[in-house]
Structure 1
Amino acid sequence: MEISDRLLKQIEFIKEIDKIKYIQRKTKLFHSDRHENDAEHSWHLAVMALTLLEYADESIDLLKVVKMVLIHDIVEIDAGDTFIYDLERNHTNTDLERLAAGRIFGILPKDQADELITLWEEFESGQTEEAKFARAMDRLEPLLQNSSNNGGTWNEPGVSYEKVFAKKSVIKDGSTALWAYAEKLIDAGVAQGILKKQ
């Protein structure tokens, strides 16, 4: 049986995205000193979305959310991970990330490449209900990790209560219930002295 060009492109993409397993994040696993990698992070967000769906403020397409969280950091294979509280680089969509999306997703057949680039852009813009909920998962997971690790990345230079509150407030766009929980964790961090107010 002849192997189709479509299948070969799909296999090439699957091999390429294995590199996401090597992208280390600043956050550490729950109650651990080991840094999380992007693949673990994306998997965790997908399971969180499945588990926490009932707390979405609006009716959402769960499969679309799962697709978004599974692919949202693939661009970091080329662009690298930018720490959310980085003092020099802005943690926003960049030209470098767009180039990475085009190259990596472009390995796929055009229909699949177009779908994933569109999903990635939708996640980044954060305007649809699915993107809002996906982004809530993306901001909640490291908050849970830092709370379990005596502050974790909150102990990095330049990270303050005000910065954490501002970055995590994205959660409220996707879920008021999860934001209420997140606020309690942030406030507990302040009360415990592991998150400092400026």
Structure 2
Amino acid sequence: MQTDNLLKQITFIKEIDKLKYILRKTKLFNSDRNENDAEHSWHLAMMTIVLAEHSNKPIDVLKVLKMVLIHDIVEIDAGDTFLYDTTKSHTNTEQELIAAKRLFGLLPKEQAKEFIAIWQEFEDGITDDAKFAKSMDRLEPLLQNTSNNGGTWKEFDVPYEKVYDKKKAIKEGSTAIWEYAENLINESVEKGILRKSID
């Protein structure tokens, strides 16, 4: 007999397939194809497993995996917000909260409550788990842009200062990964794929 919980969970599983259609501004490594949100979330999950040892503090890897897999599901309703977009807020928008309640609300009550709490924890970025999850979220597009001759930095004329300001959040989760990332950003300026603003 099919339980009510199972039917709700299958409904949610079908609904989140839409994440595969949400295109991000960033392109795949060494490619001109835009990455979709599902690919992004999968990549962050793999990065979490591989790079967890570099976290500043001990983390609950399963919790971080849940965060990186859940964090962009709201974009099914709210759409993708480009990190360097100056017209949209990157903090917990009302639109995203409404999306979280609708999408996670498809699940059984306790699961919905857990998923919303995990999503909120990631958005707040205060706990050690959330800091590391956000480090992964900021690192992946940096690696993509450096593999694509500047990628979205060049396409949207994003200067070094803005990239540095947005990416330094990596340090909150991992100083070791931030050192690597900072070098990549500086090398990108030297290579001419990231411009510094003229003082």
Q: TM-score range by the shorter chain?
A: over 0.9
Whether contact under 8 Å (1:20, 1:76) holds in the other structure is yes
| Alignment partner of 1:106 is 2:105 | yes
Residue 135 of structure 1 is matched in structure 2 by 134
Structure 2 unpaired stretches of 5+: none
Residue 88 of structure 1 is matched in structure 2 by 87
Whether contact under 8 Å (1:21, 1:38) holds in the other structure is yes
Structure 1 unpaired stretches of 5+: none
Q: After alignment, is 84-93 or 39-48 more displaced?
A: 84-93
Whether contact under 8 Å (1:85, 1:91) holds in the other structure is no
How does the TM-score come out when normalised to structure 2? 0.98
SS in 2 for 1:25: strand
Residue 176 of structure 2 is matched in structure 1 by 177
Query: 1:87 Cα shift?
Result: 2.4
Residue 156 of structure 2 is matched in structure 1 by 157
Residue 19 of structure 1 is matched in structure 2 by 18
**How far apart are the structure 2 equivalents of 1:102 and 1:77?**
12
Residue 35 of structure 2 is matched in structure 1 by 36
Question: Aligned residue pairs: how many?
Answer: 197
Query: 1:158 Cα shift?
Result: 4.6
Query: 1:28 Cα shift?
Result: 0.4
**How far apart are the structure 1 equivalents of 2:109 and 2:118?**
14
State, as a whole percentage, how many aligned pairs show the same letter.
67
- Please give the root-mean-square deviation of Cα atoms over the aligned residues, in Å: 0.7
Residue 59 of structure 2 is matched in structure 1 by 60
SS in 2 for 1:140: helix
**How far apart are the structure 2 equivalents of 1:157 and 1:123?**
27
Whether contact under 8 Å (1:23, 1:81) holds in the other structure is yes
Query: 1:90 Cα shift?
Result: 2.2
Whether contact under 8 Å (1:105, 1:113) holds in the other structure is yes
1:139-158, Cα deviation, whole Å (9 max, x unpaired): 00000000000000001335
1:65-99, Cα deviation, whole Å (9 max, x unpaired): 00000000000000000110012112222000000
SS in 1 for 2:152: helix
